[in-house]
Amino acid sequence: MIRIENVTKKFKDKEAVKNLSFHIRQGEIFALLGPNGAGKTTTMRMLSTLLKATSGDIFIHGLDVKKDATEIKKNIAFLTTEIRLDGQFTPNELADFYGNLYGMDKEAIRTNKERLFTYFDITPIADKRYETFSTGMKQKTSIAICLLHDPKIIIFDEPTNGLDVLTQKQVEDFLLMEKEKGKTLVISTHILEVVEALADRVGIIIDGKNVAEGTIEEVIAANEAKDLREAFISLYERNHEMEASIVKESKKKKWW
Amino acid sequence: MKVVWTFVKHEIFKVIKNKKMLFSIFVMPILLVAFSLGLTSMQLEREAHADTYRVCFFNAQIREESHDMSGVILQLENGSKEEYAAFLEDKQVNLDEIFVEFMETGVNVYYNSLDGAVESLLPNIEEYMIKPYMEAAYAAGQGAGVEHFALEVVDTSDEMERKNLSLSFMLPYLLQIILFMNLVSVVGDTFAGEKERGILAKQVLTPISTNQLIFGKLLGSTLVGVSSSVIYFVILTLGDWISLKATGKAAMGIVRAALGAGQIVVMLIGFAFLSLVFVAAIVLASCFAKTVKEATNLSMIVYYIVIVAAVASAFQMGEAPIISYAIPIYNFSLFMSNVLSGTATLINGLVTAASLFVTFLILVAASVMNFSGEKAIN
């Protein structure tokens, strides 16, 4: 479904992602886990076609993100807190605008808007400016607009970040509903409870490298840990230390 | 095409919905322009009046219909002492007769300040004509009363023409700056501003091509920026009429007096072409900027070019070679000066338009080549 093969992403002299490989199956919720600065967001951006990999390949539905970006964009949704909607517009206006950009006809926009706005309680405020909404309502409106074109793959970077418990539950339930419909979800988070509640499988990235992949149980067992938290910390300590020592060594070499 | 139209509508609605932007790109500059032009107009009135007495003697172009031509008319060319002597001989001018005959009434020496200042002409006349005459008169013992001889300076140029000349130096520059500042504000926000706020990335994620995205946003913001400039222009041209109706005085007579309908239409077409270049330059700058501030700073390069071009065109004496009209931005200043002074030609206009359009295409191509998803996020 989604194949990430030996992907490396460099920003000037910094390698954000190093030779990363994952295989994400159709209809599953795959969680990317990692500490801050591990390369999760960069990976998500490459999946969403926003960034191009320096080397390696990413295939979505057999399509190469480098060559078939336009076709892939029709079937994916990417939501992150860094990507926002224009605050001066109302949810109705935003839905019409983005619906047109996705090439949807008026009827499709109306139907999908109605379904999503109803689920996320946006309908009563659909004619009010987005900038006047609370954080939770903004997030829900972003999700609704993001999913307006009914994508097959949903990529969410920190989907429940900054949300209250009730809104968090509403978003999580929605993601599970989408999974039930056979959609593939890739989420990135550092909140382990969210991962345990939603994910079928996880991939752990530390310092831009893939250090573990599998079901939560498999990752726990492989690291002889009690739970996912312990497994994560163990993986982090082993791999981050290795990375630090390599850097230290290379600095020594440079010095001499 | 539908996508491009979607962006155009979106850009227009964006401005309409934003009261601050509405004020800054439509209302505030109108007030500033009205105020500054009012002051400039008053200043020009004073200078025009002062011309009659201040400007040096000049040659040629005497308007018989508007001046009393009684007496002797001296149409003089600027030149050396020998050339003056030759001139007087050629024209069979007998200064003795002239000065004696007009001892009582004085001699009017006419000049036209629009034909170019010839500061040396007055000293030449005094040195080569008046002084020898007076010396000869004293030597012949006829000097009594000669010192009372009156030499009156009269500017034969038309006051409206003088205003038009001043306007032709000032207005293209002023309008270019207004247009540029409007477009920096609108286009800078459309690209760099939306990038800064995380909105551009959302649009890049939709399945539209880079060409559609850039053209759509470019066209939308161009329409907003240019319509803002057109409103200024209309305000300027109507300003005098409004002022006349309201106060009985033509506070901004400078524009109305100088521009005909044809000139206004040609100027508007010229501005449409120039705005394309400005927009494309700002879009290109925005491709390399992360914030509106950065985009504005980079766009200032164009601002400096506008200033240099306007100054260079103001110093252009005589008819500029056709190749000058192929230099983008400079050609606009040059052509607009021509339009305002009534010396524009079709070929100059076509070369100017073609040059600006080619520049626009090059800048857009550079923007498309430099724009990518990575450039849409900070």
Q: Cβ of A10 under 8 Å from any chain B Cβ? A: no
Q: Cβ of B3 under 8 Å from any chain A Cβ? A: yes
- CA nearest B204 in A: which residue? A50
Q: Looking at residue A190, what is its pLDDT?
A: 77
CA quadruple B155, B160, B161, B164: dihedral sign: positive
Residues of A in contact with B13 (CB under 8 A): 89, 93
Q: Looking at residue A100, what is its pLDDT?
A: 92
Residues of B in contact with A85 (CB under 8 A): 199, 202
Question: Residue B250 gets which letter from DSSP?
Answer: -
Lowest mean pLDDT among B72-76, B80-84, B120-124: B72-76
Which of B59, B40, B3 has the alpha carbon at shortest distance from B212?
A: B3
Q: What is the pLDDT of residues B285-300, one digit of tens each?
A: 888 888 888 888 888 8
Find out whether A95 and A113 touch, Cβ atoms under 8 Å.
Answer: yes
Torsional class of A135: left (φ above 0), alpha (ψ -120 to 50), beta (otherwise): alpha
3-state secondary structure of A10: strand
Q: What is the pLDDT of residues A73-87, one digit of tens each?
A: 999 999 887 788 988
Which of A51, A89, A102 is nearest residue B373 as measured by Cβ atoms?
Answer: A51
Structural Rg of chain B based on CA atoms: 28
Find out whether A9 and A53 touch, Cβ atoms under 8 Å.
Answer: yes
CA gap A48, A83 in Å, rounded: 12
0.90 exceeded by the pTM? no
Q: What is the pLDDT of residues B326-354, one digit of tens each?
A: 988 888 888 887 887 777 888 989 999 99
Q: Cβ of B14 under 8 Å from any chain A Cβ? A: yes
Q: Cβ of B373 under 8 Å from any chain A Cβ? A: yes
CB-neighbour burial class of residue A101 (10 A; exposed 0-12, middle 13-18, buried 19+): buried
Q: Cβ of B262 under 8 Å from any chain A Cβ? A: no
Q: Cβ of A71 under 8 Å from any chain B Cβ? A: yes
Highest mean pLDDT (candidates A219-228, B100-109, B115-124, B233-242): A219-228
> Tell me, what's the ipTM?
0.87
Mean pLDDT of B53-79: 40
Average pLDDT score over chain B:
71
pLDDT band at B153 (very low <50, low <70, confident <90, very high): low
Residues of A in contact with B3 (CB under 8 A): 100-101
Per cent of chain A over pLDDT 70 is: 94
Residues of B in contact with A100 (CB under 8 A): 2-3, 6
Find out whether B128 and B79 touch, Cβ atoms under 8 Å.
Answer: no
Give exposure, B135-151, as e/b (b: 16+ Cβ within 10 Å): eebeeeeeeeebeebeb
Which of A51, A102, A103 is nearest residue B374 as measured by Cβ atoms?
Answer: A51
Q: Looking at residue A31, what is its pLDDT?
A: 92
- CA nearest A71 in B: which residue? B207
pLDDT band at A127 (very low <50, low <70, confident <90, very high): very high
Question: Residue B130 gets which letter from DSSP?
Answer: I
A138 C-beta neighbours (distance < 10 Å), count = 18
Instruction: Please tell me the distance in Å from A99's CA to the nearest CA on chain B.
Output: 9
